[in-house]
Structures are given as structure tokens and as C-alpha cells.
Amino acid sequence: MVGGALLGAAANRQVCPTISEMTFGNHSKDIKELRDMAPFKPFSLHLTSRRTLNVTTADHLLIAPRGDLLVLFPPDGGVCVIDPTQVASVDVQSAR
């Protein structure tokens, strides 16, 4: 049954676009520092595809131990699996 649950989850996920031909470096160390900062400040990931993903809480972002994969759970549901080399820039949201 576990395999069926995984297939169902995979069918419901949002796939984040990537541009495999372009490499802008690995920002996973910087992203990890932002995620682990206390107090947490929301930030945005700007992808090379020009899509922007918002990290609203530290609990919404997982980083693989090697730093070669990011998993974001958007506040509206779903999941985005992101190759860190596809992150063009990161912006910390200003206080309101």
C-alpha cells in the first residue's frame, strides 16, 4: 500500500519548471542559512524560469543533506521539488 500512496502523492504534486541548459550556481547554503535564521523572515526564491516561490515559514522548506535538492511546500498546497542550481536569486521579504 505504501507504493500506491506514493504514486497518489506524485500525481498530485506541482512540478516546478527548470531550465536544465542553464546553471547559475548552487544557493543551497545561503537558502539554508535564511531558513534557519532566528527569528525567521519569509523569503522568495526566484528561479531561472522567472517563477517566484515564497517560503512563508521554515517548516515549509526542506533541504537535502548534500544540498542538491530543495523541497518546498507552498502555503496553498502541493509540493515543489527544486534543483538549487535553478535558483537565480533569493530575496528576504521586508518587515511590514
Cα separations in angstroms, 24 against 7, 21, 27, 29, 40: 32, 10, 9, 14, 26
| Alpha-carbon dihedral sign for residues 31, 7, 51, 21 | positive
pTM over 0.85: no
Q: Which domains does the chain have, with CATH numbers?
A: 2-92 (2.30.30.100)
Tens-place pLDDT, residues 81-93: 999 999 999 999 8
pLDDT for residue 10 is more than 70: no
Average pLDDT over residues 51-76: 94
Asked if the peptide bond before residue 39 counts as cis, ω within 30 degrees of 0, the response is yes
Question: Is 9 a residue whose pLDDT tops 90?
Answer: no
Residue 53: band (very low, low, confident or very high) from pLDDT cuts 50, 70, 90 = very high
